[in-house]
Amino acid sequence: PRPILITRHGESQDNVRERIGGDSFLSPNGEAYAKKLAEFVTKRLGSERAASIWTSTLQRTVQTGSFITGFPRVQWRALDEINAGVCDGMTYAEIKEVMPEEYQARKLDKLRYRYPRGESYLDVIQRLEPVIIEIERQRSPVVVVAHQAVLRALYAYFMDKPLKEVPHIEMPLHTVIELSPGAGGVYEKRYKLME
């Protein structure tokens, strides 16, 4: 059966600065991951005739996928990270300090909380629908290089996790999660490629 490989982008410059959103490039660490990912994908999917690499339109995922050769790469806006609206570019500490009501509201209901002029997890789940339909139509493996919130939603869909758990699913950096749909449900395997 065709596997779906999902991974977050490598560590970005904004991850290092602890800023959310934005469109930064990878840190040196993140670039090291991108290279390891390319090796891994070549080994894992090298014998496949067809496979495709899907990224978001943001630099950090495009750059993470850029070392993978031999397969077509497709950019999806629907895979872009949750839009943090007025909080884009801030750290969580800054949000807590400058907009304490927003910080509290999100903490109380992270699934439904919508950033002012941005999105909620529910919004992200909804905009992922065309991506999910397309993944399910694929007959060859897909590598999805995306972002924490987006991958929580995708993972929850394939692993049949309840909505309320989505914003809290652990989605570590520098790890590939392989999802293999089978008769008894989806089988999952994790590969931590580096720290």
- The active-site residue out of 19, 81, 83, 152 is 81
- The active-site residue out of 19, 106, 147, 174 is 147
Question: With binding defined as CB under 6 A, does residue 10 bind ligand G3H?
Answer: no
Strand partners, 8: 146
Neighbours of 160 (CB within 10 A): 8
117 given a catalytic annotation: no
Question: With binding defined as CB under 6 A, does residue 148 bind ligand G3H?
Answer: yes
Question: With binding defined as CB under 6 A, does residue 147 bind ligand G3H?
Answer: yes
Nearest residue to ligand G3H by CB is 148
| Rounded Cα distance, 31 and 23, in Å | 15
174 given a catalytic annotation: no
CA angle 153, 107, 77 (to 5 degrees): 35
15 given a catalytic annotation: yes
Q: Let me know: does 120 contact 105? Beta carbons within 8 Å.
A: no
**Given 131, 135, 144, 149, the residue binding ligand G3H (CB under 6 A):** 149
| Rounded Cα distance, 11 and 32, in Å | 9
Question: With binding defined as CB under 6 A, does residue 167 bind ligand G3H?
Answer: yes
19 given a catalytic annotation: no
Nearer to ligand G3H, 51 or 82 (CB): 82
Minimum distance from CB of 80 to ligand G3H (Å)?
11
Closest-CA residue to 117 (of 84, 150, 78, 77):
84
Nearer to ligand G3H, 168 or 189 (CB): 168
Nearer to ligand G3H, 10 or 167 (CB): 167
For 14-31, b/e burial (b = at least 16 CB within 10 A) is bbeeebbbbbbebbebbb
| Rounded Cα distance, 99 and 97, in Å | 6
What residues make contact with ligand G3H under the rule CB under 6 A?
20-21, 81-82, 147-149, 167
Catalytic residues: 8-9, 15, 60, 81, 147
